[in-house]
Each structure stands twice: as structure tokens, then as C-alpha cells.
Structure 1
């Protein structure tokens, strides 16, 4: 019987299984850590669990730590024993609060004040609780107790109040066994897809460099007859073929999907994500379909996106619109998404800690303009790589997201116990 069939069988059993919901504090002891800062870490000594590493480097469990503290300091800190669960209490992101890690190391470890140690009683499996912290039920519960704005905190006292389903121990162990296997399968498949994605991105970069090399440094252009077509390439400044958007759009027409700030533009040409902030008043710079949006703070982050809708942005994002009918907007996007453009932008940027690109200098950037037919050929090739490496509705990123969603579905189902009547 494959894992999906086993999971479905167990899900049916869970729907009728006896389960009691109890506050976390009744099924184990919660101990808040204390007094551990980044400067306290050493290269060797007593194993220490640094709260930030729980959601950066570890998975669901570990038998070793990545950090250490001196024996003298360790004596003053709270102890983590084998089988204990370490839960993050504090983070700048609410999503990271409540991340949990099962410690299986033979040597006793310590942790600081940004984490709480949960010492499970005999009626709950520590790993079962770790998986439960990854559910929407737990997420909603922790948010009710979250305090703070810039730094979010859920205290150990409040964590103890969160209701946890307690099915029979044997059921908990079966759930853990299946979810462990799904985690393993997901990690293996994801690693394979990530490796394939990295390869495709390298190919994409190679072909973009090759096809846009009109000064013939590496023999660019479409290879066949390239030398014959070099004479058809015209070099113009960006300002001769495009302009910055002068249009304005009211904030009431913006939402998380079409408002673009520098924060929701993704690094390294990865496009954009939903915005966590939308202005509630005033007018913004408008962008339309095919406009090119470039993050103008810290140009080295290579934040660029070609619009597929109408929306608005602020002064930290440049909106470039093609004005020359002999230039394909998608071709111009590929030229501006090139490393040479970002290097040029950084060369003329002002400021040390937070460099900002020069709007004037950017419009002086030299653009190779081959005939439209040539631009269309280049776009057709590079668009395929762009879809393969970036599309969330198809291509490799979609495959990765699909596998994660499948795992999340079974985890949610296996941990969805009926509430007591």
C-alpha cells in the first residue's frame, strides 16, 4: 500500500477516533528560555539552539545544534533534553513565531529567551506536536495571543493556553510515521526539482547573454547569419525609446495584487509577490500592461518585473514605458533584466548604505535595437525559459508548489480532529 493510500485510510479512522482537546500546558511543561544573545555564541562548547536557526536551517527535528556557548553561560540557561520541543516565541514575522523543533541530541543543549522549551508528558508525542504547529488551527490560535508590532511575541504563558488535540498515543505515532515519510518524499522530489530549476536558470542566463550580445563580445544574436545582421542593429539610449510613466492612479483602485512597492518586488529578476501594504489614500504612479517596473533602491538586488495588469506604485519603483513602435516591450524587458544594466545602474547610484539609482543616468543607458522580427525571435526563445524558471502556473516553480500543496493537504487532513461536542 503506497503512502497516499495509507494516509487516506488513517484519515477515515481519525474522523471517528476518540480525541480530547486540551490546553498545551496540561500535556507538558513549558519553560521560557532566558538571556541568550548573538554575541554569546562561541565556536565550540555546550550545544545551544539559536532560535533564528529553528526556521532557517533545521527541519522538523535535529540530533545536533549549529551553535555553542561557554560552559559558564550554559549553567545560567534553560536546558533542552532529548525529546523536548523548542518553540520560537519572538520574531519580526508572525509566521515564524511558533515554529517548533524536536531535539533528539544525546547531549543536553541550552536555549535563550526567544524560545520556549516544551517537555511533553506521556500522553503526547513530541513530534506529533511539532507537526500540529504547522497547521492552520495552530496558526490561528497563536495569532490571537500575539503581541507587539515590529517584534511579535507569544509568551510561554499564552502558548500554554492553545488547545491541542490528544488522540490515543498509537494514533499519534501512526500520524507521525506517515508525515515523516511525506516529508522525506517531498524533500527528495523538491531537491531534484530545485536542481533542475537551477540548471534551467543557468541556461536562461547563458541564452540571454548570447542573444543580447550585439557588440559581438561572445558572438551573440541568433547564431545563423549573425554577422550579416549586425549592420541592422541600431544603438539608442533608453530615453530615446522609452519614458517614465507620468500617469497617476487613485489608491482606491489598488489592492494587494496590483500595488507594487520595492518590498514586494523580488530579488534576482524573480518578479513580485502580493503586497503586504496597500496605500489607503492619495494617488500613485500608474503602470499598465507591458510597462517595466524596476526597484530603484539598492539596484544590486536586481528587482524587475514586467506588468501583466494595470496598477500603481510609489517613488521607490521606476515605471518604464516603451514609446518607440520599433521596440518590442518584451524585448526591452530582457535587455533591462540583464546583468549589464544593473551594473550600469549601480555605477551611477548615489548613497552608501542605501544606494539609489539615478533616473537621469538610467535614461542614458545604451540599448541595441535590432529589427522587430529579430526582437520577436529573441523574445520567443527567452520567454520559454522565463516561463520554465519563473511561472507559478506552469513550469518548474509550479511543480515545486504542487508538491508542497499536496503535502500540506495530507498534513492538514491527518491533524484535523473533530472538536468535542
Structure 2
């Protein structure tokens, strides 16, 4: 108990639920590296989640000609690779914050339906115990796969949406600082 005069330091309540209760699930539409063009509609291919993109995707540097049946982002999706080399590799997520981006094949598209902020959801899948839970659900040997129904069974803990946004902001800003620091040239001390 705090002495009188101290503020009430209560912890906001957190909930824990399966992602299947809080999100809808779909799949991206099949595109490959051969479909990449210098201009056209922005495109995210699953392989670039490992090499190019961070936890939050705002800009895309690959383009294509839109095909019939393409899945276009609305700006609040979370994408999770559907296959990869290891279970830990595919138990990662990125939030897509812009609309009009084609979500290529081999991507699980997770759309929070309220209560969950997309940035928070992506960070929780990648960095919380949800990551280990999703990695355990991956199937396969030389190539592992994860499906929407696997992601739906993963439990996530979350506070209020305003608190989720604050947590995401801090983590994403720190992530950006680390990335900038890693890009700085390193010079040997000569002397």
C-alpha cells in the first residue's frame, strides 16, 4: 500500500486471447521475382520480409503489373510468411500501414478487427511468447509452413489500444535508431 499523497500506481488491465478471436485471416496472391517491374503497383514478396523490411512497412521499393485476383492492402494488415527455412524464421510479422500494396503469394494476411493495433500485433508475434507458440505450430522439415489456422490459435496478451500504440511507438522508434546506428560507417581508430 502506498502512503497517502502518492498517486494511484495501478497497472492497466491486460487481456489474453487467441488471435482467431481478434483477427481475420487470408492469403496473399501468387507473384514471384519474375513479376517485379521498375514501375507499377507496389508489391511485397514474402522473401523480402527477411531481407528488406522491418516490423512496420510504410514504403515499398518493388513494383509489378497488377493481376486479376490480387490482394491489395487496406493499410492495417499484419503479414506473416507462410513458408521459410526454419520455424523461427517464419514466426515473424510486419504491419503494412499503406493501402494499395499488393500482398504477394506465400504471405499470411492477418487483419485485426478492433481491439488490436496492427503495429502492436506484429511486434507481439515477432517478439513475445506468441513467437515461440507460432514457431511450435510450424510444420515441415526442409521447408517449414505456417497457415492462417495456426496463427489463429496463437494467444496474445494486450493492454488497451492507446497503451498498445504507446508501446509500439517506443519499440519502433528504438528499432529505427538501432537500424540507423548500424548503417553508420565504422572507422578504425588510427591514432
Q: Tell me the TM-score normalised to structure 1 length.
A: 0.40
Residue 181 to residue 70, structure 1, CA distance change in 2 (3 Å):
closer
How far apart are 1:68 and its partner, in Å?
A: 2.0
Is 1:40 the counterpart of 2:35 in the alignment?
yes
Runs of 5+ in structure 2 lacking a partner? 1-8
Instruction: Identify the match of residue 145 of structure 2 among 141, 153, 163.
Output: 153
Q: Is 2:96 the partner of 1:103?
A: yes
Residue 138 of structure 1 corresponds to 130
- Tell me the alpha carbon deviations over residues 198-256 of structure 1, each in whole angstroms, 9 at most, x when there is no partner: x339x8xxxxxxxxxxxxxxxxxxxxxxxxxxxxxxxxxxxxxxxxxxxxxxxxxxxxx
Q: Which residue of 1 aligns with 2:188?
A: 200
Supply the distance in 2 between the matched residues of 1:122 and 1:61 (Cα, whole angstroms).
18
Residues 364-387 of structure 1, C-alpha deviations (whole Å, 9 max, x = no match): xxxxxxxxxxxxxxxxxxxxxxxx
Contact kept? 1:80, 1:117, Cα under 8 Å: no
Q: In the aligned structure 2, how far is the partner of 1:143 from the partner of 1:178?
A: 25
Please identify the structure whose Cα radius of gyration is greater: 1
Partner of 1:179: 171
Shift of 1:168: 1.0
CA RMSD of aligned residues (A): 2.2
Pairwise mapping of residues 250-265 of structure 1 onto structure 2 (< 5 A)? Answer: none
State the alpha-carbon separation in 2 of the partners of residues 60 and 86 from structure 1. Answer: 10
> Which of the numbers 115, 120, 135 marks the counterpart of 2:112?
120
Question: Which residue of the other structure, out of 75, 82, 97, is the alignment partner of 2:75?
Answer: 82
8 Å CA contact 2:45–2:105 kept in 1: the answer is no
1:379-398 correspondence runs (5 A): none
- C-alpha separation in 2, matches of 1:150 and 1:200: 41
Identify the residue that residue 24 of structure 1 maps to in structure 2: 19
- For 2:106 and 2:134, how far apart are their aligned partners in 1? 15
| Aligned partner of 1:162 among 151, 154, 157 | 154
Tell me the CA shift for residue 31 of structure 1.
Answer: 0.9
Aligned length: 182
Q: Structure 1: any 5+ residue segments left out of the alignment?
A: 1-11, 204-421
Q: How far is the alpha carbon of 1:62 from its aligned partner?
A: 2.3
The TM-score, its normalising length taken from structure 2, stands at 0.84
CA distance in 2 between counterparts of 1:177 and 1:47 reads 25
- 1:136-175: CA deviations, max 9, x gaps? 5122101221111111111111111100112111211121
Distance 1:143 1:102 in 2: 19
Name which structure has the greater RCO, CA cutoff 8 Å, separation 6+: 2
* Structure whose residues are more often helix by fraction: 1
CA positional deviation for 1:113: 2.7
